[in-house]
Amino acid sequence: MIKKICVNHAVTYEYPPDGGTIPIIDPYDGCSVGCPYCFQLEDENWNLDLKVKLNIAEVLQQEVSSWSKTEPVYIGSRCDPYMGIERKYELTRKCLMEIHKLNLKCMLTTKSGSRLIFRDLDIIQAMGDQFTLLLGLSNLNQLTKVDDMSVLGNIQTANELHRIGIQVWVFITPVLPGITDVDAMIHALDDDIQVFLDKVRIKPGTRPALALESYIGRRYPHLVTTYHDIIYNGRDIYYESMKEKWSKHKRIRFVFE
Ligand code: SF4
């Protein structure tokens, strides 16, 4: 159910394993993309409702007015900022406008494939180097519909935006053996787009583990053993082979390796 709420704070913080602190702006809380491996699923209260933070842009304006111009703020962690509901509420657009007014550095994560980002090109192009799009390719809704990676929606988006000068980093996170064809994806992307990869990192028995196992059982039954091995034995033969093949290439980075 969609719930409209007002917030007191626009920025929340995440603390990754490397000891850093990441300031996050989530215009919504909850996500309609439905990735079965999503780490947010560990929170059993997440996504019960899709919360729309009606006043987030106004709160953000006050909260980040003296923010450092060099420390990036991130948009999107507990939501995909360009999921379908953004078409109606335009909260991501409003947050981008505030960030642009203050000339802050911003990294926006999306994999929804909605192409709504093209609506906001007027702001994003004006932000120049202060804006980076972190575009995820492990969108199972897209991946189950095409075999040819050159027509995968998010790869086309990455190339189109890159060609008009938007800074785009592409993420194959997680690499999904038997589903994400890493070689074909890298070859379908423009040569100078930076690509980041990571393996499935899911703790056995957790809600994401159960969701991913159940999804694979329904959609890719021939891969059940492969994913059982990854989740329960930490054995990911495909990922290791990709690491071996690509880790010496300058534009390819393996996150956390
Ligand atoms: S798009 Fe992101 S937040 Fe939404 S379900 Fe997928 S991984 Fe989770």
Each domain of the chain, given as residue ranges in start order, spans 2-136
Nearest CA to ligand 1 atom 8: 38
Residue 20's pLDDT is what? 85
Which is the closest atom of ligand 1 to the Cα of 110? 1
Q: 82 and 154 in contact (C-beta within 8 Å)?
A: no
Ligand 1 centroid to Cα of residue 129, in Å, is 25
- Residues (pLDDT < 70) of the chain are none
Ligand 1 centroid to Cα of residue 82, in Å, is 11
- Please tell me if the CB atom of residue 140 comes closer than 6 angstroms to any atom of ligand 1: no
Ligand 1 centroid to Cα of residue 36, in Å, is 9
Of 95, 159, 96, 107, the C-alpha closest to 131 is 107
What is the C-alpha separation between 36 and 33, in angstroms, rounded?
A: 9
- Helix, strand, coil % over all residues of the chain, rounded to 5: 40, 20, 40
| DSSP H/E element including 121 | helix 121-127
Best residue among 35, 74, 82, 139 to mutate for probing ligand 1's pocket (most ligand atoms within 8 Å of CB) is: 35
252, amino acid identity: I
Ligand 1 centroid to Cα of residue 30, in Å, is 9
Residue 19's pLDDT is what? 80
Predicted TM-score (pTM) of the model is: 0.96
